[in-house]
Chain A
Amino acid sequence: MSDKIAVSLTVNGESRRVTVEPRRTLGDALREDCGLTGTHLGCEHGVCGACTVLVDDAPVRSCLMFAVQAEGARIRTVEGLADGDTLHPLQQAFWDHHGLQCGFCTPGFLMLAVGILEGNPDIGEAELREALSSNLCRCTGYQNILKSVLAAAAAMRR
Chain B
Amino acid sequence: MSWVGRRLPRYEDPVLLRGDGRYVADLARGALAMRFVRSPVARGTIRRVTAPAGARVITAADLTDVKPLCPRLLRPDFVPIAQPVLAAGRVTYVGEPIAAVIAGSAAEAEDLAEQVEVEIDPETPVVTLDQALAPGAPLVHDAAKNNTVIDTGLDAGEVDAAFAAAAQVVEFTFVSRRQSAMPLEARAALAAFDRSTGRVTLSISAQAPHMVRTGVADALGMPESELRVIAPDVGGGFGQKVPTIPEHIVAVWVARRFRCAVAWIEDRLENLTASFHARDQRLKLCGAFAADGRLLAVDADILCNIGAYGNMPVTAALEPLMATTELPGPYDLRAYRVRSRGITTNTCPMAPYRGVSRPVITTAMERLMDTAAARLGLDPLDIRRRNLISSFPHHSLTGMVQDAGSYREAMEEAAVMIDLPAFRARQQAARAEGRYLGIGFSVFAERTGYGTPTFSARKMEVTPGWERVELAMDASGNVEARIGASPHGQGLKTTLAQLLADEIGVEPARIRVVSGDTDRTPYGWGTFASRAAVIAGGACKLAGIKLRERLAEVAAQTLEAAASDIEISDGRVVVRGTDLAVGVPELARAAYHQSHRFPAIAETGLSAVATYDPGGTFSNACHVAIVEVDPATGGVRIERFAIVEDAGVLINPTIVEGQIHGGVAQGIANALYEQVVYDDAGNILTGSLADYLVPTMAEIPDLEIHHLETITDASITGVKGVGEGGAIGAPGAVLNAVVDALRPFGVELFEMPVTPQRILELVQNRVAPP
- A and B from one complex: yes
Q: Residues of A with Cβ closer than 8 Å to B?
A: 1, 21, 23-24, 31-32, 35-45, 47-48, 50, 77-79, 81-82, 87, 91, 94-96, 98, 100-107, 110, 129-130, 132-146
Say yes or no: B662 contacts A43, CB within 8 Å: no
Say yes or no: B14 contacts A95, CB within 8 Å: yes
Residues of A within 8 A of B655 (CB): 98
Residues in B1-57 with C-beta less than 8 Å from chain A:
9-10, 12-14, 16-23, 25-26, 29
Asked if B238 lies at the interface with its beta carbon under 8 angstroms from chain A, I say yes
Question: Chain B binding site: helix, strand, loop or mixed by DSSP?
Answer: loop
Min CB gap B604→A, angstroms = 36
Counting chain B residues whose Cβ lies within 8 A of the other chain, the interface size class is 35 or more
Say yes or no: A140 contacts B661, CB within 8 Å: yes
Asked if B550 lies at the interface with its beta carbon under 8 angstroms from chain A, I say no
CA–CA, A53 and B16, complex, Å: 16
Residues of A within 8 A of B161 (CB): none
Min CB gap B733→A, angstroms = 14
Asked if B107 lies at the interface with its beta carbon under 8 angstroms from chain A, I say yes
- With A98-B655, A101-B490, A136-B696 given, can you name 9 additional A-B contacts, CB distance below 8 Å? A31-B26, A42-B185, A94-B17, A100-B16, A102-B185, A103-B233, A104-B23, A135-B696, A136-B694
Min CB gap A91→B, angstroms = 4
Contact A104/B184 with A45-B689, A78-B18 known, Cβ cut-off 8 Å:
yes
Asked if B102 lies at the interface with its beta carbon under 8 angstroms from chain A, I say no
Min CB gap B204→A, angstroms = 15
CA–CA, A145 and B233, complex, Å: 20
Min CB gap B640→A, angstroms = 13
Asked if B159 lies at the interface with its beta carbon under 8 angstroms from chain A, I say no
Asked if B718 lies at the interface with its beta carbon under 8 angstroms from chain A, I say no
CA–CA, A103 and B658, complex, Å: 13
Say yes or no: B29 contacts A35, CB within 8 Å: yes
Say yes or no: B17 contacts A110, CB within 8 Å: yes
Say yes or no: A133 contacts B698, CB within 8 Å: yes
Say yes or no: B107 contacts A21, CB within 8 Å: yes
Say yes or no: A45 contacts B688, CB within 8 Å: yes
Residues of A within 8 A of B267 (CB): 44
The residue in chain A whose Cβ has the minimal distance to the Cβ of B669 is A138
The residue in chain A whose Cβ has the minimal distance to the Cβ of B183 is A138
Contact A81/B18 with A45-B268, A141-B661 known, Cβ cut-off 8 Å:
yes
Name the residue among A79, A82, A129, A143 with the largest chain B CB count within 10 angstroms.
A143
The residue in chain B whose Cβ has the minimal distance to the Cβ of A146 is B697
CA–CA, A47 and B488, complex, Å: 23
Say yes or no: B111 contacts A1, CB within 8 Å: yes
Asked if B665 lies at the interface with its beta carbon under 8 angstroms from chain A, I say yes
Interface residue from B13, B661, B663 paired with A95 (Cβ < 8 Å): B13
CA–CA, A85 and B404, complex, Å: 47
Min CB gap B487→A, angstroms = 9
Min CB gap B607→A, angstroms = 31
Interface residue from B19, B29, B664 paired with A38 (Cβ < 8 Å): B19
Min CB gap A67→B, angstroms = 13
Say yes or no: B17 contacts A100, CB within 8 Å: yes
Say yes or no: A140 contacts B694, CB within 8 Å: no
Interface residue from B185, B657, B666, B688 paired with A104 (Cβ < 8 Å): B185
Residues of A within 8 A of B10 (CB): 95, 98
CA–CA, A95 and B7, complex, Å: 12
Say yes or no: B234 contacts A102, CB within 8 Å: yes
Residues of A within 8 A of B9 (CB): 95-96, 98
Min CB gap A28→B, angstroms = 8
Contact A141/B664 with A44-B268, A79-B18, A95-B14 known, Cβ cut-off 8 Å:
yes
Contact A91/B17 with A136-B184, A141-B703 known, Cβ cut-off 8 Å:
yes
Residues of A within 8 A of B111 (CB): 1
Residues of A within 8 A of B657 (CB): 98
Contact A105/B184 with A42-B268, A77-B19, A142-B665 known, Cβ cut-off 8 Å:
yes
Say yes or no: B19 contacts A129, CB within 8 Å: no
Say yes or no: A43 contacts B268, CB within 8 Å: yes
Interface residue from A102, A133, A134 paired with B236 (Cβ < 8 Å): A102
Residues of B within 8 A of A98 (CB): 9-10, 654-655, 657-658
Min CB gap A144→B, angstroms = 7
Contact A143/B21 with A32-B29, A102-B184, A133-B698 known, Cβ cut-off 8 Å:
no
Asked if B585 lies at the interface with its beta carbon under 8 angstroms from chain A, I say no
The residue in chain A whose Cβ has the minimal distance to the Cβ of B658 is A98
CA–CA, A81 and B18, complex, Å: 7
The residue in chain B whose Cβ has the minimal distance to the Cβ of A134 is B696
Asked if B702 lies at the interface with its beta carbon under 8 angstroms from chain A, I say yes
List 10 A-B pairs, Cβ < 8 Å: A35-B29, A37-B23, A38-B21, A45-B268, A45-B689, A100-B13, A102-B234, A103-B233, A135-B696, A139-B236
Min CB gap A137→B, angstroms = 7
Q: Which 7 A-B pairs have the closest CB atoms?
A: A38-B19, A102-B489, A104-B235, A103-B16, A141-B661, A78-B19, A141-B665
Residues of B within 8 A of A23 (CB): 107
Interface residue from B13, B489, B703 paired with A143 (Cβ < 8 Å): B703
Residues of B within 8 A of A79 (CB): 18-20
The residue in chain B whose Cβ has the minimal distance to the Cβ of A87 is B17
Contact A132/B268 with A82-B18, A101-B491 known, Cβ cut-off 8 Å:
no
Asked if B182 lies at the interface with its beta carbon under 8 angstroms from chain A, I say yes
Asked if B425 lies at the interface with its beta carbon under 8 angstroms from chain A, I say no
Asked if B432 lies at the interface with its beta carbon under 8 angstroms from chain A, I say no
Asked if B700 lies at the interface with its beta carbon under 8 angstroms from chain A, I say yes
Say yes or no: B16 contacts A138, CB within 8 Å: no
Say yes or no: B26 contacts A37, CB within 8 Å: yes
Say yes or no: A91 contacts B18, CB within 8 Å: yes
Say yes or no: A141 contacts B662, CB within 8 Å: yes
Residues of B within 8 A of A37 (CB): 19, 22-23, 25-26
Interface residue from A45, A135, A143 paired with B690 (Cβ < 8 Å): A45
Residues of B within 8 A of A129 (CB): 697-698
Residues of B within 8 A of A47 (CB): 688-690
CA–CA, A97 and B491, complex, Å: 13
CA–CA, A39 and B26, complex, Å: 10
Residues of B within 8 A of A77 (CB): 19
Residues of B within 8 A of A110 (CB): 17
Say yes or no: A143 contacts B19, CB within 8 Å: no
Min CB gap B532→A, angstroms = 14
Contact A42/B665 with A87-B14, A136-B696 known, Cβ cut-off 8 Å:
no
Residues of A within 8 A of B107 (CB): 1, 21, 23-24
Residues of A within 8 A of B26 (CB): 31, 37
Interface residue from A24, A100, A142 paired with B700 (Cβ < 8 Å): A142
Residues of B within 8 A of A95 (CB): 9-10, 13-14, 17
The residue in chain B whose Cβ has the minimal distance to the Cβ of A21 is B107
CA–CA, A32 and B107, complex, Å: 12
Say yes or no: B662 contacts A139, CB within 8 Å: yes
Min CB gap A11→B, angstroms = 12
CA–CA, A38 and B14, complex, Å: 13
Residues in B634-684 with C-beta less than 8 Å from chain A:
654-655, 657-658, 661-666
CA–CA, A103 and B666, complex, Å: 17
Say yes or no: B662 contacts A101, CB within 8 Å: yes
Min CB gap A156→B, angstroms = 16
CA–CA, A14 and B699, complex, Å: 39
Residues of B within 8 A of A43 (CB): 268, 688-689
Interface residue from B233, B234, B697 paired with A142 (Cβ < 8 Å): B697
Min CB gap B359→A, angstroms = 15
